[in-house]
Structure 1
Amino acid sequence: MIAKKIYLRFSNLIDFEDLIAPYLIKLIYRIGILIILGGGVLSCINSAGVGGSIGRVLLAFGGTLLSLLLWRVVSELWILAFKIFQRLGEIKDLLTLQNSASMKSREE
């Protein structure tokens, strides 16, 4: 039973039934968050350095928040494209079943 499930999962992966790109996008998204947060912290520290003001620190903080928001939107758009692809595959399968059922009813 377990071997059959593993075989089916592997078969779906080889036949491109299951896409790995959404998982990779989520991984890249998380790595991007870490990079953006690291850059934001460094930017805030540099802004507060010699001759810095609270306005520069707030600007760096706001830029970091805006960058995180934009990164989230871009990542969601990538995942949305793959979800649309999966839905179109489901619609195609349903239409195929519907057409085969109507062909059988016509033959009878």
Structure 2
Amino acid sequence: MTNKNDRLSRLFYFLGFERLIAPVLIKLIYWIGMVVILITGATSFVSSSSDGIGRMLLALLATLLSLLIWRLLSELGILAFNIYERLVEIRDLMARQAPAPAAIRPALPESD
């Protein structure tokens, strides 16, 4: 019986957006994009071999720069979700703390 309840709680945990799948998808898309950039860079490098060493170096530099930019863009996407997760942790920690007093007394007594 507990096994069934455990499965149900995991299902509600997933369906309730408590665990986000976007960071996993971003990492998958990152690796697919990296392979595409490397294949395109290799193709460009080989096809520019007849145009001289300058074009080959330019193709290599463009491939390396594209990989760097692709990595930065992917990290920005993951960063947004990491910020969200930290904010949820902060919210949960604050909810566990004792409630704040209803009225805050002034530091200095009021003079009449």
TM class by shorter chain equals 0.7 to 0.9
Post-superposition offset of 1:12: 1.3
- Structure showing the higher helix proportion among its residues: 1
Alignment of 1:7-22 (within 5 A): 7-22=8-23
Code of the aligned partner of 1:29: Y
TM-score, structure 2 normalization: 0.81
Give the letter aligned to residue 73 of structure 2: V
**2:55 equivalent to 1:56:** yes
| Matches of 1:97 and 1:44, distance apart in 2 | 58
Tell me: CA distance 1:5–1:64, structure 2 relative to 1, closer, same or farther (3 Å).
farther
Matches within 5 A, 1:40-55: 40-49=41-50, 52-55=51-54
Larger Rg, first or second structure (1 or 2): 2
Superposed displacement of residue 6, structure 1: 3.6
Q: Following the alignment from structure 1 to structure 2, what is the Cα–Cα distance between the partners of residues 101 and 59? A: 62
Identity across the alignment (%): 50
Give 2:109's aligned residue: none
Judged with a 3 Å threshold, the aligned counterparts in structure 2 of structure 1 residues 58 and 10 are, in CA distance, closer, same or farther, namely same
Instruction: Find the counterpart in structure 1 of residue 92 from structure 2.
Output: 93
The one-letter amino acid of 1:89's match is V
Question: How far apart are residue 101 of structure 1 and its match?
Answer: 9.0
Unpaired runs of at least 5, structure 1: 104-108
What is the alpha-carbon distance in structure 1 between the residues aligned to residue 100 and residue 5 of structure 2?
A: 29
TM-aligned CA distance change 1:27 to 1:2, over 3 Å: farther
User: Could you tell me how far apart the structure 2 residues matched to 1:58 and 1:83 are?
Assistant: 37
> Greater CA deviation, 87-96 or 3-12?
3-12
- How far apart are 1:3 and its partner, in Å? 4.5
Question: Size of the alignment, in residue pairs?
Answer: 101
